[in-house]
Structure 1
Amino acid sequence: MSSNQAAPAPSLLANRFVQSILVSTLFLQIGIWVRNIAILLYVKEMTHDNAFAVSLISVAEYAPIFIFSFIGGTFADRWRPKRTMVGCDLLSAGSILGILVALTYGSWKVVFFATLVSSILSQFSQPAGMKLFKLHVPEHLVQKGMSVYQTLFAVFMIFGPVVGMFVFQTYGIKTSIGIMGIAFLLSAASLSFLPRDRREQEEKQTTQVLADMKAGFRYIRNNVILRKLGGSFFAVGLGFGLIQPMGIFLITERLGRPDSDLQWFSLINGVAMIAGGVLAMGFASKVSPQKLLTFSMVIVSLTIIAMGLSTSYGLTLGLQFVSGLAFPCINIGINTMMMKNTEDSFVGRVNGILSPLFTGSMVVMMLFAGGISDAFSLAAVYVLGGSFVLAGSAVLVPLLKLKTVHVMPTPQEKAAGN
């Protein structure tokens, strides 16, 4: 189905591409959550709760984003996207077999590679998936498609840890890793039903990889909407990085509750995110992505500030629900704006440049969150974090006057690809 063809709203789930991607995502989420929880519990068990060893899991998960995100995005623009996604899933499944052999006859420390390898390969498959979304989903259904996608992620935020813990505690680490491999194989099988790649995409490639990378930066520099989106990405990452490590202290220090109450905040947040994704599906075609993104960021920023100032348990839970309700709209708005304002041939590189802006700023601020809390107060951390998110929404305000955020590429942007 061409992105230029008109189609009624109900056609979204009838779209062959959407069906395949959702089934693939379902299997991947099962595998990823089983992996995350099983490896976390296994490393804690083998190291007797060594904090440094546990932190290496996050390093294995996030480090590839900085190193391989833009490289993966560049190759996603050069390679056939369907072949790239299927190949990455098959390589991930193959690596799992090697890890299982090493786990049986070698060191338990190879479990770190299960996270590292799949994280590296996802930097190639994820932008390829975005490119396929751009090619096969009608433009007026993109925002609704993103809503369905985010709702599926929200569902696993609630049930993923439960499934992962059950598998590990019942069957152990080897079965957990094996399930991850099977999940990747099932994902690859689901993706095989996607429409064939267009062969001309590969045949057109005459430039060097380095030239393609430079063209990606020029493309964003010459596109005012993508520049503002990048600035907003960066600010939101700063805000989320400050508050993410502080959630447990908000409960124990600010509210004076036991740390076990963190599960209720996680549950409330997950339920709210599911509800937010479902609601976004209902009004996705009625609200422009820039308005959806800007106003949801304002709501999230204000709830973050209010949570930092609140000393009421009930009020803070309510604010957590409101924040979770709005959060999916941030992801939906960002991805929709990115795809609607990027040419097919640049989707991978744009995604590869913008995504590390968020992750990088978030990880950096995580390092400073504890120090800021010690130097000032926990409330100050939340106020500052909320202020960063609010600043990110302010960057997008000039876009609100546009009736539709979808522009034809300027001559300079076209030249960027030459």
Structure 2
Amino acid sequence: MSAEAVKGAGGNLLLNKFFQTILLSNVLLQIGIWVRNFAILMYVTDKTNADEFAISLMGFVEFLPIFVFSFIGGTFADRWKPRLTMIWCDFLSALSVFIVLITLLYGSWHMVYLATFVSAILSQFSQPSAMKLFKQHIPEEQLQSAMAMFQSLIAIFMVLGPSLGVISYQKFGIEVSIGVMGVAFLLSAVVLFRIPRDREVERTEAGAEQRFVQDLKDGFAYVWRSPVLKSLGGTFALAGTAVGIAHTLGLFIVLERLEQPKEFLQYILMVNGVAMLVGGGLVMAIAKKVPPQKLLALGIFLSSVCMVGIGLSTSVPLTLVLQFISGLGFPLIQIGISTMILQWSEESYIGRVNGVLSPMFMGMMVIMTLVAGQLKSVFPLVGIYSAAGGIMFLGMLLLIPLFKHKPLVAGAEG
């Protein structure tokens, strides 16, 4: 993604100090996250001899905190200074990782789950704070382009990340891999000091507990009043159900349907990542021409079709092609969702809107990560993936009535 392409999309985002900083911070976070995801997955798989429950538990400890803390994190994101919130979250993530490393050296291997658990909790305070900063520092006409470029960076790590995690684990072991995670999170916290200082947050006379409960209620009411955000919540729930199944059982597609070793999963995700990079570039090209709700619908449609195909396929080439097509749709989904939340929410409500909608997705995802392993013991993978694709398709249908809606202007309600 070139600077010229960004400039053509509404101004040179790469000259924006905030955008430069958030990209650099995200590079460091992605290194830590991908080393965490794959090094720990390989470690747990080796330790448990590919036990279905142990592998699904990895997804559970990652997504349960997201569901539980998303409401709280989103509400506090609207009350706290977002820059300082992000810095503290990265610093505490690094601290928790180093504590896990020490206990791993002297205690039980099960402590690796804690690194994922704590990081997932803190992300629920950091992520909505980042959304608020995007709203503050990126001009409205550049939001979708900024999200496309941000998603392209994530796509690059979808290509590089799996191999980074696997190589780190195979060459250096779990201890060094966890150390890399901690250093990456710590450096991200340092980089975030470059972001301009936060605005002063308004203080109220009401007690903290009373104010928090009222803010939480206001967030739910705000989403309920908006037909766009309300429908988006339904789509989130259906998509979370489908993605929870596919995310948890992806390793078994490799082991059973394709009859490949567990390490082959990294190549599937690399293909997916290349496609995401291409898809992010396509969104940059059409960002000002296609509304985000149509981008989201198209991305979900592609994912639903490919999900069914991946479940049916026993051919490595066909599965890789389907993963590529699915990867093209993923940036459409992520950019569409992020842009819709930013465009249909007032700045003072962004954290709470994110906190209300994310659990719709994550809640179902948490349930399915825990249930998927049990479903697999009863139903064939083909049937499970076909059902997941059908559920994803229903989520796309909910978006069709939103095609006629226009974004918020001048603080009006959705």
TM-score (structure 2 length as normaliser)? 0.87
Displacement of 1:170 after TM fit?
Answer: 3.1
Could you tell me which residue of structure 2 aligns to residue 77 of structure 1? 78
Q: Is 2:203 the partner of 1:203? A: yes
Displacement of 1:44 after TM fit?
Answer: 4.5
AA aligned to 2:329 is A
Displacement of 1:169 after TM fit?
Answer: 3.2
Once residues 368 and 99 of structure 2 are traced to their aligned partners in structure 1, the CA distance between those partners, rounded to angstroms, is 36
Q: Name which of structure 1's ranges 25-34 and 165-174 shifts more when overlaid on structure 2.
A: 165-174
Could you tell me which residue of structure 1 aligns to residue 160 of structure 2? 159
Cα separation, partners in 2 of 1:191 and 1:237, compared to 1, 3 Å: same
Q: Is the 8 A contact 2:53 2:373 kept in 1?
A: no
Out of 353, 356, 359, which is 2:359 matched to?
Answer: 356
Q: Name which of structure 1's ranges 309-318 and 20-29 shifts more when overlaid on structure 2.
A: 309-318
Once residues 33 and 350 of structure 1 are traced to their aligned partners in structure 2, the CA distance between those partners, rounded to angstroms, is 27
Residue aligned with 2:334, SS: helix
AA aligned to 1:148 is M
Could you tell me which residue of structure 2 aligns to residue 3 of structure 1? none
Once residues 358 and 22 of structure 1 are traced to their aligned partners in structure 2, the CA distance between those partners, rounded to angstroms, is 25
Deviations 1:354-396 (A, max 9, x none): 1121122123234555666676654433332222222111111
Out of 334, 341, 354, which is 2:344 matched to?
Answer: 341
Cα separation, partners in 2 of 1:266 and 1:98, compared to 1, 3 Å: closer
Cα separation, partners in 2 of 1:369 and 1:59, compared to 1, 3 Å: closer
Q: Is the 8 A contact 1:144 1:284 kept in 2?
A: yes
Cα separation, partners in 2 of 1:213 and 1:306, compared to 1, 3 Å: same
Alignment of 1:303-314 (within 5 A): 303-309=306-312, 314=317
Residue aligned with 1:174, SS: helix
AA aligned to 2:190 is A
Once residues 78 and 212 of structure 2 are traced to their aligned partners in structure 1, the CA distance between those partners, rounded to angstroms, is 10
Displacement of 1:48 after TM fit?
Answer: 5.9
Displacement of 1:264 after TM fit?
Answer: 4.3
Residue aligned with 1:195, SS: coil
Could you tell me which residue of structure 2 aligns to residue 217 of structure 1? 220
Displacement of 1:137 after TM fit?
Answer: 0.8
Deviations 1:111-154 (A, max 9, x none): 33222222211111111111111111111111111111211112
Deviations 1:311-331 (A, max 9, x none): 665444323221111121111
Cα separation, partners in 2 of 1:205 and 1:128, compared to 1, 3 Å: farther
Displacement of 1:36 after TM fit?
Answer: 2.6
Q: Name which of structure 1's ranges 262-271 and 6-15 shifts more when overlaid on structure 2.
A: 6-15
Cα separation, partners in 2 of 1:341 and 1:41, compared to 1, 3 Å: same
Q: Name which of structure 1's ranges 333-342 and 54-63 shifts more when overlaid on structure 2.
A: 54-63
Once residues 375 and 360 of structure 1 are traced to their aligned partners in structure 2, the CA distance between those partners, rounded to angstroms, is 23
Cα separation, partners in 2 of 1:48 and 1:257, compared to 1, 3 Å: closer
Once residues 105 and 314 of structure 1 are traced to their aligned partners in structure 2, the CA distance between those partners, rounded to angstroms, is 44
Could you tell me which residue of structure 1 aligns to residue 187 of structure 2? 186
Once residues 43 and 363 of structure 1 are traced to their aligned partners in structure 2, the CA distance between those partners, rounded to angstroms, is 19
Could you tell me which residue of structure 2 aligns to residue 416 of structure 1? none
Could you tell me which residue of structure 1 aligns to residue 37 of structure 2? 36
Q: Is the 8 A contact 2:298 2:332 kept in 1?
A: no
Could you tell me which residue of structure 2 aligns to residue 135 of structure 1? 136
Could you tell me which residue of structure 1 aligns to residue 305 of structure 2? 302
Q: Is 2:393 the partner of 1:386? A: no
Matched residues, number: 404
Deviations 1:193-246 (A, max 9, x none): 1111001x2435746111111111111111111001111111111222333344
Cα separation, partners in 2 of 1:17 and 1:259, compared to 1, 3 Å: same
Q: Is 2:289 the partner of 1:286? A: yes
Cα separation, partners in 2 of 1:270 and 1:97, compared to 1, 3 Å: closer
Q: Is the 8 A contact 1:290 1:396 kept in 2?
A: yes
TM-score (structure 1 length as normaliser)? 0.86
Question: Percent identity, aligned pairs only?
Answer: 48
Q: Is the 8 A contact 2:26 2:188 kept in 1?
A: yes
Q: Name which of structure 1's ranges 212-221 and 277-286 shifts more when overlaid on structure 2.
A: 277-286
Out of 402, 405, 409, which is 2:407 matched to?
Answer: 405
Could you tell me which residue of structure 2 aligns to residue 230 of structure 1? 233
Deviations 1:9-50 (A, max 9, x none): 242121111111110010011112222333334444555655
Once residues 97 and 367 of structure 1 are traced to their aligned partners in structure 2, the CA distance between those partners, rounded to angstroms, is 28
Once residues 192 and 226 of structure 1 are traced to their aligned partners in structure 2, the CA distance between those partners, rounded to angstroms, is 33
Displacement of 1:173 after TM fit?
Answer: 3.1
Could you tell me which residue of structure 2 aligns to residue 9 of structure 1? 10
Once residues 182 and 314 of structure 1 are traced to their aligned partners in structure 2, the CA distance between those partners, rounded to angstroms, is 38
Q: Is the 8 A contact 1:28 1:183 kept in 2?
A: yes
Deviations 1:153-208 (A, max 9, x none): 12212211222233333333333222222212211111101111001x24357461
Once residues 77 and 402 of structure 2 are traced to their aligned partners in structure 1, the CA distance between those partners, rounded to angstroms, is 29
Displacement of 1:347 after TM fit?
Answer: 0.9
Once residues 124 and 270 of structure 1 are traced to their aligned partners in structure 2, the CA distance between those partners, rounded to angstroms, is 26
Q: Is the 8 A contact 2:101 2:175 kept in 1?
A: yes
Q: Is the 8 A contact 1:78 1:205 kept in 2?
A: no
Q: Is the 8 A contact 1:61 1:115 kept in 2?
A: yes
Alignment of 1:159-178 (within 5 A): 159-178=160-179
AA aligned to 1:405 is P
Q: Is the 8 A contact 1:80 1:202 kept in 2?
A: no
Q: Is the 8 A contact 1:290 1:405 kept in 2?
A: no
